Amino acid sequence: MSKQLLSALLLSSTLVHASNEAQIKQEAKDAILKLKSSLQTRLKANLQKGGVVQAAAFCSRKAQAITHEVNVSFAHETTVHRTSLHYRNSENSPKSDERAVLEQMQKDFESGKALPPLLVKQTDENTYKVYKPIFINKGVCLKCHGNATQRDATAYKTILKNYPQDKAVNYKMGDLRGAFVVKIVQR
């Protein structure tokens, strides 16, 4: 094979790969935005209406249903969910491959490395998981995920009733809380 042909082939395969990755990232971004804004708008509305206590009851009852609604709205086999090493709802506990990625993210975070806004992992020939880190980025997060002095005591009572095994507390401002995970199957 001529050198030119070989390099043309190599170049075109890198291009296909790059554009495929761009496409995967775009699809993941759209899915995350959909879940994030659905959760955020309704959390905000409940905070405004009934404060942290009502918001805690709302999240306990509705977060999973909202996630499900968003997932059934996708045309393809795409799914999006939230996960964490210190999860509140065991439905959000990481699968073993997700745990490995979260552990690496946590290590990088602790050693001061900037985490990529989107991380693409191929899990088999045509399946990808895209991770977007979630940080404790607002004071209000601490009302339900902070330490005993920061938490809203009444709201946390409701939370503990619904999640007796809760692990999602004692976070500080800026901490890595977990990740959105989008699973994309390409046909």
Residues in touch with ligand HEC (CB under 6 A): 52, 55-56, 59-60, 63-64, 82, 84, 87-89, 92, 134, 136, 138, 140-141, 143-145, 155, 159, 168, 177-178
Kindly tell me which of 90 and 122 has the beta carbon lying closer to ligand HEC: 90
Structure tokens at 11: 């170049």
| Dist. CA 120–CA 130, nearest whole Å | 4
146 vs 61, 141, 164, 175, CA distance in Å?
20, 7, 16, 10
Name, in order, each residue with C-beta under 8 angstroms of 116's C-beta and a sequence gap of 6 or more. none
CB of 114 to ligand HEC, least distance (A): 18
Kindly tell me which of 25 and 143 has the beta carbon lying closer to ligand HEC: 143
CB of 149 to ligand HEC, least distance (A): 16
CB of 169 to ligand HEC, least distance (A): 10
Kindly tell me which of 56 and 119 has the beta carbon lying closer to ligand HEC: 56
| Dist. CA 53–CA 158, nearest whole Å | 8
Kindly tell me which of 31 and 63 has the beta carbon lying closer to ligand HEC: 63
CB of 41 to ligand HEC, least distance (A): 13
Nearest to 38 by CA among 9, 67, 64, 14: 67
CA dihedral (46, 49, 55, 60) in degrees, to 10, reads: -70
CB of 94 to ligand HEC, least distance (A): 10
